[in-house]
Amino acid sequence: MEAVEHPRPGHVHPVPSTAVWTIPNAISAVRLVLIAVFGALLSADRDTWAIVALAAAGISDFLDGYLARRWGQVTRLGRLLDPAADRLLTVAVVLGLAFRDIIPWWLVAVLLARDVMVGTVLLIAHRHHVASPQVTFVGKLATALLYLFLPMAYLVTVAFPDWGPLHAVAIAGASVAAVFYWYSGVGYVRDLRARMASHAGRGEVSPEGPAGLG
């Protein structure tokens, strides 16, 4: 999620950053439920409903951030809940598809290793009171490509098993997305390390910033 924008006339009034019960936060919470539903349906080979749950989770990923910014409802809980749901969705999708032999395990290792790297540095940065970096265009692009090509690989395998070349295109697209994913992750790590070194030298405490890295 990004910084709060002042709502236009006629829109919902802003809420305090400490608010809990907001519509965007409720949507993020629903996404967490949809992740569990997707995993259960995938493991039970209920592919049609699993794809529906995955599509709904993807839509909610866009909707909660959009409404939070438009209505001035960016909250501290939302800054934690939204990226946590995003990461869990990514993990659920890549692990579930790998167990079904839809995507290769090396791709799972590449994607999860990037998240472990960024997550570890984020934890260290927060202990030093350094805020999370802004989401970059490359990070958003990488996430969008993953949300496009991973479901494509799933859909092709389930609905069009004879379309092998299209599945290969989906895996190739996901591999390109993984490159962008790592590129953005390295950028986040460099940013965090530079700001930790700068703040340590000046003895400053960073103000709270937006979370949610793509």
* Distances from the Cα of 181 to the Cα of 21, 99, 113, angstroms: 32, 22, 11
145 neighbors 173 (Cβ within 8 angstroms)? yes
Per-residue pLDDT, averaged over 6-26, amounts to 66
Q: What share of the chain is helix, strand, coil (3-state, %, to 5)?
A: 70, 0, 30
More confidently predicted of 180 and 10: 180
Instruction: Please report, rounded to a whole number, the percentage of residues in the chain having pLDDT higher than 70.
Output: 85
Name the nearest CA neighbour of 62 among 4, 115, 1: 1
Per-residue pLDDT, averaged over 6-19, amounts to 57
Task: Note the pLDDT of residue 203.
Answer: 57
User: Is the pLDDT assigned to residue 208 strictly greater than 60?
Assistant: no
What's CA 38's distance to the chain center, in Å?
16
This prediction has a pTM of 0.76
User: Is the pLDDT assigned to residue 213 strictly greater than 60?
Assistant: no
Distance from C-alpha of 129 to C-alpha of 70, rounded to nearest angstrom: 28
The domains of the chain are located at 1-100, 102-214
46 neighbors 82 (Cβ within 8 angstroms)? no
